[in-house]
Structure 1
Amino acid sequence: MQWTGLTLPKNKLKRKDQVEWHSRVISSVHAIVLCLGSLMCYLELKNKSREALVSGYAISPDIFARIFLGYLLYDTTNMLAYYKYLGDKSAIIHHVIFACAAAYVLRYSIMAYPFIWLSLCEISTPSLNLRWHLAVTGQKDGSLYLANGVLLTVLFFASRVVSYGAGMWHLWGLRDVWAAPGQPPLNPFLVGLFFLGYLLNLYWMQAILHGVLRALSRSKPSKTA
C-alpha cells in the first residue's frame, strides 16, 4: 500500500499519518473478517454440549483464531518496524500477551465458544478507525464525524460491555469444565486474562462516552442574547 498509494486520501498526509492510515485500514479489514468468524463460530457451536463449548477441536474457531494470531504478529512487527511513528509500548505488550494467549488456545484446542464474543468485540473497530481517518483529514466538525462517534459508542457498549460481560458470566458457569482435573493447567490464568480485558474495555467505554458527549455538546447551536 505504501508503494501504490492504495487507500490513501487525496489530500497529502504526513509520513507518520500515512503509516498509521495503512495500519488502520488493515485493522478494519481484520475486524470485519473476525466478525464474520464470530458468526460462523456461533453457527458451528450453537447445538454443541457444554464440554464441546470449552474443550475440543472446532473448525471455525481454529481457523479464525489463527487469523487473529497472524494479525497480532503482523501488527506487532509493524509497530516495531515503524516504532518512530507507531511506537506504543502498552500496545506492543498487549499484543504479545494476547498472542501468547491465542497460541495457548490453539495448542490445546480450547475456549471455542468464548471466541464468539471475544471476536465480536471487533465490530466497533472500523468505526474507531474511521473516527481517526476523519480527524486526520480535517473533518472533525462534520456531521459524519458526530454520527460515527455515536455509532462507535453504541457498538462498543453492545459488544465490549454487554456481550463481553454476558460471555464472561456464561464462561463462569462453565468453570466445572475448564477447571476440571485433566484440563490444560493455565486455563484459570486465561480466564483471568479475559476478565482483565473486560476491565480494560470498561475503562475505554467511559473514555469514549465522555468524548461523544463533548462532541454532542459542541454541535448544539449557541444561544443568542
Structure 2
Amino acid sequence: MATLPAQAFSVKAYQNQAEELIKHYLLAEQSIPYTSVVVGIFFCKMVYDLTELVSSFHFETYAALTKLQRIEWNNRGISTAHAIFITFMALHFVFWSDLFSDHRHDGLVIFNRSPLSDFGLGVSVGYFLADIGIIFWLYPALGGLEYILHHTLSGVAVAYSLFSGEGQLYIYMVLISEVTTPEINLRWYLDTAGMKRSKAYLINGVAIFLAWLVARILLFIYMFYHVYLHYDQVVQMHTFGYLLVFVVPMALAVMNLMWFQKILKGLQKTLAKRQ
C-alpha cells in the first residue's frame, strides 16, 4: 500500500512534464509553424483511415471499387476535410477578423500574422505535402502534371508565408478557393456510384459552376485589386515573397480559367441531355 502514493506522485510528475512540454514547446509561438505541419500530416492520415472505415460499412459502392479507386475515394475524403477546415479559416481571417484590417495600427497589413493564422497555414502545408506525396506515388492515376504544378505552387507559397510571416492575407484569399473542392469531390463520388443522370448530379454541377465563378474567378480579381491598393506595402516584401504574390496567383488564375471553361462545357452538355 505504501507504493501507491509514490506511483501517484510519479504519474503526476509525468503529467506535469507533458503539460510543460505542450505549453512551452508545442504551443509556443516559435514552434507552431513546425508542429502545425506535423498536425496537418497526421490529420490527413486520420481522415484517410476514417474515410476507409466509414465507407466500408455504409457505402455498398465502396466494396465494388478497385484498389486504386478505393485509394482515390479515401484521398478525396482528405481533400474534402482539408477544404472545409481551411475555407472556414480563410473566411474568418479575410472577412471577419481584424487581423488584416487596414484600421489596425500595429503594423503593415502585409506583415500581420497570429498564432492561429500560422496554425491554419501549417495544417495546409501538411496537407499539400501528404497529397502531393500520394500523387507522386500513384502517378499519373490521381492526377497529371497540372495537379503537380498546382500543388507545388500552392504548397511553396503557403510554406513561405507560414515561415516568413509575409503576405498571409493573400494566401488566405487564395485558399478560399478551396470551397470548390467538396463539390468537385462529390461529383466524382456521384459519377463513381453511377449517378450521372440523377438530379443530385445536376444540382452539383450548378453548384460547382457558381462556387468556381465566385471563389476562383471573382475573388482572384478582388485579390489583384487589393494588391494594387496596397502595392506600397507589397514592395517591402523580400524578393521571393514579392514574386510569389504575383506569380502564384496569376498561374493559378490561368489554370482556374482553363478549368472553368471545361466546367462550363460540361454543365452545358448535362443541361442539353435533360431537354
TM-score (norm 2): 0.73
State the 1:176 CA deviation: 1.1
| 1:210 matched to 2:265 | yes
Judge which range, 89-98 or 42-51, deviates more: 42-51
Q: Matches of residues 157-172 of structure 1 in structure 2 within 5 Å?
A: 157-172=213-228
Count of paired positions: 218
The one of 82, 90, 111 equivalent to 1:55 is 111
Residues 114, 177 of structure 1: CA spacing in aligned structure 2 closer, same or farther, 3 A cutoff? same
Alignment-derived partner of residue 110 in structure 1: 166
The alignment partner of 1:186 has SS state of helix
Equivalents in 1 of 2:190, 2:105: separation in Å?
45
Residues 80, 63 of structure 1: CA spacing in aligned structure 2 closer, same or farther, 3 A cutoff? same
| 1:34 matched to 2:86 | yes
More helix by share: 2
Q: Which runs of 5+ in 1 are unaligned?
A: 221-225
State the 1:29 CA deviation: 0.6
Structure of greater Rg: 2
Q: Which runs of 5+ in 2 are unaligned?
A: 1-47
Does the 8 Å CA contact 2:162/2:168 hold for their aligned counterparts?
no
The alignment partner of 1:198 has SS state of helix
Judge which range, 85-94 or 154-163, deviates more: 85-94
| 1:189 matched to 2:243 | yes
The one of 154, 157, 163 equivalent to 1:98 is 154
How much is the aligned-residue C-alpha RMSD, in angstroms? Answer: 2.1
Alignment-derived partner of residue 71 in structure 2: 19
**Letter in structure 2 aligned against 1:109:** G
Residues 192, 83 of structure 1: CA spacing in aligned structure 2 closer, same or farther, 3 A cutoff? closer
Residues 59, 168 of structure 1: CA spacing in aligned structure 2 closer, same or farther, 3 A cutoff? farther
The alignment partner of 2:55 has SS state of coil
Equivalents in 2 of 1:201, 1:85: separation in Å?
21
State the 1:213 CA deviation: 1.0
The alignment partner of 1:83 has SS state of coil
| 1:7 matched to 2:50 | no
Equivalents in 2 of 1:59, 1:164: separation in Å?
26
Judge which range, 163-172 or 133-142, deviates more: 163-172
Deviations along 1:100-134, whole A, 9 cap, x unmatched? Answer: 22222122101122133211101111001000000
Does the 8 Å CA contact 1:41/1:113 hold for their aligned counterparts?
yes
Judge which range, 199-208 or 93-102, deviates more: 93-102
Residues 184, 102 of structure 1: CA spacing in aligned structure 2 closer, same or farther, 3 A cutoff? same
The alignment partner of 2:141 has SS state of helix
Equivalents in 1 of 2:223, 2:143: separation in Å?
32
State the 1:146 CA deviation: 0.4
Does the 8 Å CA contact 1:54/1:177 hold for their aligned counterparts?
yes
Does the 8 Å CA contact 1:120/1:159 hold for their aligned counterparts?
yes
**Letter in structure 2 aligned against 1:32:** I
**Letter in structure 2 aligned against 1:138:** G
State the 1:96 CA deviation: 2.4
Equivalents in 1 of 2:55, 2:163: separation in Å?
36
Percentage identity across paired residues of the two chains = 24
